[in-house]
């Protein structure tokens, strides 16, 4: 029998506000690993008990009111790392990594960027360039490497509604897309696109856009990317749109993929 692993990602937009929804999803789908972004909570206030109550270990790196990342897993993660640099540039809680059954999982909450002419957009591009160097440094260390999270970049025109109107948006501007693809060119594959070629499959619908969900005005910016031949082990993908339709949802929804770790021999 083939050994399998199910991985998922979700921008919670406050883990405490969304905890009941997260618990419901974990109990319904029972993934091996769930990466969370935008947890918006200091480490001392993280609701660890809520994850233990539904059978999950959890590691996290947070800060008050902004950013924050966490990884929930059925077994304890090994080799946990909370930073990818050793300087003040990595002071924001946007990176968390750990190993689960031999799979190195990197969870990121990429900066949004605010506006093209802002310092925050330049910070986003610089952050991605540093992340590229980090992956170049570690890629040979891991036979099974997965990068996942809220990338705050839509890879191509299939991944946004009204693409022509979004070319100057910080999450679709050509420079942001180039920065994402420069990292992917190290050997990462977008596993969703291995199974689904057509557009209009989204993971994020902006609260500020009236009836965005009903009108199909969304973005696919929550991604799971696998390095090298490991990407071919991904056997299925699913965006759980119904959780964006529930009461008090995040503006994102859960995205889940299924890997076979061996050939079953």
What is the tens place of the pLDDT at every residue in 37-62?
999 999 999 999 999 999 999 999 99
- For 80-122, how does the pLDDT look when each residue is reduced to its tens digit (9 = 90+)? 999 999 888 788 999 999 999 999 999 999 999 999 999 999 9
Query: Residue 78: what pLDDT?
Result: 98
Separation of alpha carbons 163 and 166, rounded Å: 5
Q: What percentage of the chain exceeds 70 in pLDDT?
A: 98
Q: What is the DSSP letter of 259?
A: E
Mean pLDDT of 139-150: 97
Compute φ and ψ for 52, nearest 5 degrees. Answer: -60, -35
Question: Among candidates 70, 75, 76, 128, which has minimal Cα distance to 97?
Answer: 70
Mean pLDDT of 210-234: 97
Question: Among candidates 262, 263, 244, which has minimal Cα distance to 253?
Answer: 244
pLDDT at 265 over 50: no
Mean pLDDT of 167-190: 98
Q: Does the global pTM surpass 0.95?
A: yes
Separation of alpha carbons 238 and 178, rounded Å: 26
């Amino acid at each position: 029998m083939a050994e399998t692993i199910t991985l998922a990602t979700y921008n919670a937009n406050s883990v405490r506000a969304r905890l009941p929804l997260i618990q419901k999803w974990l109990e319904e789908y029972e993934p091996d690993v769930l990466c969370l972004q935008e947890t918006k909570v200091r480490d001392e206030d993280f609701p660890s008990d809520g994850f233990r109550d539904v059978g999950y270990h959890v590691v996290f790196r947070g800060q008050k009111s902004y950013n924050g990342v966490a990884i929930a897993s059925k077994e304890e993660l090994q080799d946990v790392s909370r930073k990818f640099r050793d300087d003040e540039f990595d002071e924001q809680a946007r990176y968390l990594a750990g190993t689960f059954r031999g799979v190195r999982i990197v969870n990121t909450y990429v900066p949004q960027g605010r506006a093209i002419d802002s310092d925050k957009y330049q910070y986003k591009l610089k952050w991605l360039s540093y992340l590229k160097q980090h992956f170049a440094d570690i890629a040979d260390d891991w036979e099974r490497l997965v990068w996942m999270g809220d990338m705050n970049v839509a890879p191509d025109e299939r991944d946004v509604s009204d693409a022509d109107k979004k070319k100057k948006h910080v999450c679709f501007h050509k420079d942001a897309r180039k920065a994402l693809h420069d990292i992917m060119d190290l050997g990462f594959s977008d596993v969703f696109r291995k199974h689904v070629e057509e557009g209009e499959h989204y993971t994020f619908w902006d609260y500020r856009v009236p009836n965005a969900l009903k009108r199909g005005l969304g973005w696919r910016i929550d991604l799971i990317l696998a390095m090298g031949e490991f990407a071919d082990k991904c056997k299925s993908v699913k965006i759980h749109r119904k959780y964006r339709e529930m009461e008090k949802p995040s503006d994102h929804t859960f995205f889940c993929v299924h890997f076979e770790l061996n050939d079953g021999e």
